[in-house]
Amino acid sequence: MKSNFSLFDDTDQTALLKDLTEGLIEDDKVVFQQLISTISNWKNDLMTPAQAAACGER
List, for residues 23-44, the tens digit of each pLDDT value: 998 889 999 999 999 999 999 9
Mean of per-residue pLDDT scores for the chain:
89
Q: Determine the pLDDT at residue 58.
A: 62
Instruction: Please say whether the beta carbons of 29 and 15 come within 8 A.
Output: no
Which has the higher per-residue pLDDT, 2 or 6?
6
Residue by residue, what is the 3-state secondary structure of 17-35? Answer: HHHHCCCCCCCCHHHHHHH
Percent of the chain surpassing pLDDT 70: 93
Instruction: Please say whether the beta carbons of 18 and 32 come within 8 A.
Output: yes
Secondary structure letter of residue 4 according to DSSP: T
Question: What are the two backbone dihedrals, phi and then psi, of residue 6, each rounded to the nearest 5 degrees?
Answer: -125, 145
Q: Give pTM, 2 decimals.
A: 0.77
pLDDT at 3 over 90: no
